[in-house]
Chain A
Amino acid sequence: MLPTTHYPVERITLANGLRVVLTPDPSAPVVGVAVVYDVGIRSEPEGRTGFAHLFEHLMFQGSANLEKLAHFRHVQGSGGTFNGSTHFDYTDYYETLPGNALERALFLEADRMRGPRLTEENLRNQVDVVKEEIRVNVLNRPYGGFPWLKLPPVMFDTYPNAHDGYGSFDDLEAATVADAAEFFDKYYAAGNAVVAVAGDFDLETAKALAERHFCDVPARPAPVLPDFAEPDLAAERRHSYTDRLAPLPAVASAWRVPDPLTDLAGYLPYVVLAEVLTDGDASRLVERLVLRDRAVTSVGGYIGFMGEPFAVRDPTALLLQAHLPPGGDVEKVLRTVDEEADRLATDGLAPGELARTQARMVTHLLRDTDAVLGRAMQMAVLEVQRGEPGLLNELPRLVGEVTEEQIRAAAASLTIGRRATVEVVAGGAS
């Protein structure tokens, strides 16, 4: 019997529409605070690629009662750590702190939820910082943006799904303070946000603190969530590009999966399938492509372009990616993946294969909740996307209930005609 968690979940909604999720746990004297806004890369305006992420940086540049640098200093000067990150469907801001700093963290989050201090000077400074971030992660290293920035434009046709979420330097430089103010007004509304707190606190005290600090955030409703839907691929799509720094060829393919929110039961088999195919040396593709054929030097598989299966909306995909040895044959790798998917669909799983994959997945799920921050972040996203933070406790059981028949059906859907593939030509091979 697979274990599960029993984290308590308290949900409240303040008068201004802000949702608050509290999950107390006295097992360590620390708290995790996560604030999630229901806006991400897919919602940024045309001509402003990278803006959701740039705006995330601006949320750290001061607010009504906090000078620039004050947020960082108050969090770290309380013994805590912080960060924020921008995803396709949401943006998060978070802190982990000793328990005695909970109220301070709520104050800091509330202050910037009322409004960041948007200035031309801070905007120009953070455009420079973001350009350096892109240089570190994309331009000055091999396989930069592979495949999370490189595959969406192959797979999707509409701007929200297909554009470069890190942004072009031209678009970043064209961003204005007025753009930022408009973006804040539209998307950073109390009704479009969730605050989640996990860790060592008294429930009633935390409720009162949340009310005290967030009650006067102005009430603004959530904007209507746009429809990002695109039809499934009708024919195979391929793209290749040369990476001048890459010493090895690489390839990534993606197939659309069912809607994670409206069809969780239909979606879960794909989450498990990705692990059946690629988790560890006993998985299908590692055994075949790495150990037997030596056709690839590494292979991985996951759901969603950022690999977070329970924090993404439709349309999204199951991805497989591989690095090949020097001179490796991408066509052969793709053929073998097809063969293995077909074999799985036709012959099914070996005895014990599904159960052991599920057991390992449960370990990962449980481990991700051990840190108070991991718990707060996941519950915040589950609340913002599903209104169901307690789903975190259900995931181990739901993963364990996926059947062999479902895995076979999911594998059968990984056909060539539904596949989008991007190939990296090794421009740096010596």
Chain B
Amino acid sequence: MTHVLPDLGPNRELHVPSTVERTLANGLTVLAIRRASVPLVELRLRVPFARAELASSSVLTQTLFSGTADKSTVDIAAALQSVGGALSAGTDPDRLLVSGNALVTGLDKLLDILADVLTGATYPGDEVQTERSRLADRIRVARSQPAHLARVALLKRVYGEHPYAVQTPTPDEVLAVDREALADLHAGRVQPAGGTLVLVGDIDPDAAIAAAERALKSWTGDGDRVDLPAVPPLAPGPLTLVDRADAVQSSLRMCLPAVARTHPDHAPLQLANLIFGGYFSSRWVENIREDKGYTYGPHSMIEHSVAGSALTVSAEVATEVTAPAMLETLYELGRLANLPPKPEELEQARQYALGTLQLGMSTQAGLAGLASTYAGFGLRLNYLAEHADRLASATLADVAAAAARYMAPAGAAAVVLGDAAKIESGLATLGPVVRASVD
């Protein structure tokens, strides 16, 4: 028998599940999607949180479920568990996100408990003290991790005075947050207007929306809409070097400009990024990992925030090859910015981009995450079908133009975290270097 790579079967058209949507009287938009694969329901509540004070927001996520007038932390957790459920909260500079899931038979209970905390979280003093201490401990651990420190340095370098520049509070800031600050933040910002609730699972969408309306109708209030300024234009310049004495690896980070999901350049830029370093079969990964063995998991990706988008490039490389790895990174960016990719490189990236759209929608949790994220940008799941069309029709010239416009290494902001005594002179051969600290 000969062994020849089989052709792909016929492409199956992208099927985007239908969404039932209703905006409730309190201003909350509810999106419900049926995927009956397992008897569960996924919940995502997204509340706009731009400019909410950082330390208080962080502590609020850890204490939102710490008590109501008639329930303790343990009561709330036990009630959720009894329907196979759990809820947790997190923030970024754009939004507060409550995420959870439960057995689908527990949807009403899940919504009732969510409503209880949204309308009546009490932020009990003892629990606040416990949770802020735990959060301070977690931040201490994060600050000992190179990936976190490199991220902190890159955000500072890229965003300057913009609210995106600092996304993790210090332990001391967290320890100073008290019950009053949390109650004020909750009263001022944890409000339904402008928020979205996504429910996905083995549900009847209309009934699920009715259940959400019943549970959440007493959640009211609408503060002023708070917007962020657009992010500042990316300012290229010297490489920022942050010392981490005795580090056995260096963390390479670069930021390049990018555009919002709705911008005509987005699909071509996504494809250009894939060709560069956005998936395993990319030039950069094949170069610095599979050819040179400098690194394990290099990756580049486009990150979208409400106030702006960015293309970030990340690799952890052995200390002794830091400058060579940076050289290859600059080379691959410069090559793509100056020479069009080969047609087969584009087709491979295009197939990957289209295929992973299908994979992302194939689970309840995946659908819930996509629907919630897009809603935060005023988009709905039908965006995926439109985006698929744009990916399918992007030409080689479109992709080359996007690479030239956005991916030129001269336009990058770069940060390296590592053992400065060992890597600074090598990095300085490639361009100017300035030292910075993350404290």
Q: Does A290 contact B (CB under 8 A)?
A: yes
Contacting residues, chain B, for A128 (C-beta < 8 A): 292-294
Contacting residues, chain A, for B293 (C-beta < 8 A): 124-129, 132
Contact of A140 among B1, B11, B37, B146 (CB under 8 A): B146
Interface residues on A, range: 35 or more
Q: Are B316 and A135 in contact (CB under 8 A)?
A: yes
A100-B81 in contact given A76-B281, A79-B355 (Cβ < 8 Å): no
Contact of A73 among B6, B281, B366 (CB under 8 A): B281
Q: Are B102 and A363 in contact (CB under 8 A)?
A: yes
Q: Does B248 contact A (CB under 8 A)?
A: yes
A370-B40 in contact given A98-B12, A281-B73 (Cβ < 8 Å): yes
How many residues of chain B have a CB within 8 Å of chain A?
A: 84
Q: Does B83 contact A (CB under 8 A)?
A: yes
Q: Does A12 contact B (CB under 8 A)?
A: no
Contacting residues, chain A, for B39 (C-beta < 8 A): 3, 366
Contact of B130 among A98, A107, A290 (CB under 8 A): A290
Q: Are A367 and B249 in contact (CB under 8 A)?
A: no
Chain A min CB distance to B199 (Å): 15
Q: Does B86 contact A (CB under 8 A)?
A: yes
Q: Are B144 and A245 in contact (CB under 8 A)?
A: yes
Contact of A72 among B1, B8, B281, B296 (CB under 8 A): B281
Q: Are A79 and B40 in contact (CB under 8 A)?
A: no
Q: Are A142 and B144 in contact (CB under 8 A)?
A: yes
Q: Are B103 and A3 in contact (CB under 8 A)?
A: yes
Which one of B205-213, B357-365, B404-412 contacts A?
Answer: B357-365
Chain A min CB distance to B367 (Å): 10
Chain A min CB distance to B83 (Å): 6
Q: Are B351 and A28 in contact (CB under 8 A)?
A: no
A323-351, CB under 8 A of B: which get 1 and which 0?
Answer: 10110000000000000000000000000
Q: Does A377 contact B (CB under 8 A)?
A: no
Q: Quick one: which of B103, B281, B361, B362 has the most chain A CB within 10 A?
A: B362
Chain A min CB distance to B204 (Å): 17
Chain A min CB distance to B40 (Å): 6
Q: Are A297 and B77 in contact (CB under 8 A)?
A: no
Contacting residues, chain A, for B77 (C-beta < 8 A): 280-282
Q: Does A294 contact B (CB under 8 A)?
A: yes
A103-B289 in contact given A3-B103, A29-B15, A79-B352 (Cβ < 8 Å): no
Q: Are A30 and B317 in contact (CB under 8 A)?
A: no
A107-B5 in contact given A98-B12, A359-B82 (Cβ < 8 Å): yes
Q: Which residues from 111 to 153 on chain B have a C-beta closer than 8 Å to any C-beta of chain A?
A: 127, 130, 133-134, 137-138, 140-141, 143-147
Q: Does B286 contact A (CB under 8 A)?
A: yes
Contacting residues, chain A, for B247 (C-beta < 8 A): 140
Q: Are A78 and B146 in contact (CB under 8 A)?
A: no
A360-B133 in contact given A77-B351, A79-B352, A79-B355 (Cβ < 8 Å): no
Chain A min CB distance to B195 (Å): 25
Q: Does B237 contact A (CB under 8 A)?
A: no
Q: Does A99 contact B (CB under 8 A)?
A: yes
Q: Does A314 contact B (CB under 8 A)?
A: no
A326 to B140, CA, bound (A): 10
Q: Does B224 contact A (CB under 8 A)?
A: no
Contact of B82 among A98, A142, A352 (CB under 8 A): A352
A143 to B145, CA, bound (A): 10
A33 to B75, CA, bound (A): 42
Contacting residues, chain A, for B366 (C-beta < 8 A): 371
Given known contacts A100-B8, A281-B74, A362-B84, what 16 new A-B pairs fall within 8 Å (CB)?
A: A77-B347, A98-B11, A103-B6, A103-B9, A124-B293, A129-B290, A132-B317, A135-B296, A136-B296, A142-B141, A325-B133, A359-B81, A359-B106, A360-B86, A367-B38, A369-B38
18 A-B interface contacts by CB (under 8 A)? A30-B358, A72-B281, A77-B347, A98-B358, A103-B9, A111-B3, A135-B316, A140-B248, A247-B140, A247-B141, A282-B74, A325-B137, A352-B82, A359-B84, A362-B84, A363-B86, A370-B40, A371-B363
Give the top 6 A-B pairs by smallest Cβ distance, nearest first. A79-B355, A128-B293, A100-B9, A281-B77, A363-B84, A28-B362
Interface residues of B (CB under 8 A from A): 1, 3-12, 15, 35-40, 65, 73-78, 80-86, 101-103, 105-106, 127, 130, 133-134, 137-138, 140-141, 143-147, 247-249, 279-281, 286, 289-297, 316-318, 347-348, 351-352, 354-356, 358-359, 361-366
